[in-house]
Amino acid sequence: MNHSELEQEIGKMARAMMTRNSLIGKDLIADLRGRLSVDSIAALMIVSIERLIWSDCESALWSLSYLIPADVMEEMRRITALVVCQRLTGKGFVLGKDFSIDSAGRLLLSETAQTAVAAA
């Protein structure tokens, strides 16, 4: 998928999220499953939500609660946890001391790491 096609898919997904119509969103996700891997779909969803959150936070929250399939959500958590870990490491925090990830993939943060993430 080239850059233009990717931008088009992100826009379609963001607009689908704004409708809060799960049938539209699920149809788009089903179409993407035929063309992309789960990690690529998760990345596309993250960017779509990031764009939507600035203009329609409620639709972004709705999408996180009702639209995104479990396997895609799991991959989104993995991607975001990895990015947060990289940023924390870059700020001098130590894995296993200041932050870690539990067996369910949830990020565990010390108070100072929480403050750093909230400030970012």
Q: What is the DSSP letter of 105?
A: S
Question: Which pLDDT tens digit goes with each residue over 66-79?
Answer: 999 999 999 998 89
Position 33 scores a pLDDT of 96
Position 85 scores a pLDDT of 87
Q: How far apart are CA 100 and CA 111, in angstroms?
A: 13
Question: Which pLDDT tens digit goes with each residue over 12-21?
Answer: 999 999 999 9
- Regions of the chain where pLDDT drops below 70: 120
Position 26 scores a pLDDT of 95
SS (H, E, C) 42-75: HHHHHHHHHHHHCCCHHHHHHHHHHCCCHHHHHH
Position 117 scores a pLDDT of 82
* Cα→Cα distances 68→17, 28, 109, 110, Å: 10, 11, 25, 29
Position 7 scores a pLDDT of 94
Position 15 scores a pLDDT of 95
Position 45 scores a pLDDT of 97
Q: How far apart are CA 56 and CA 61, in angstroms?
A: 9
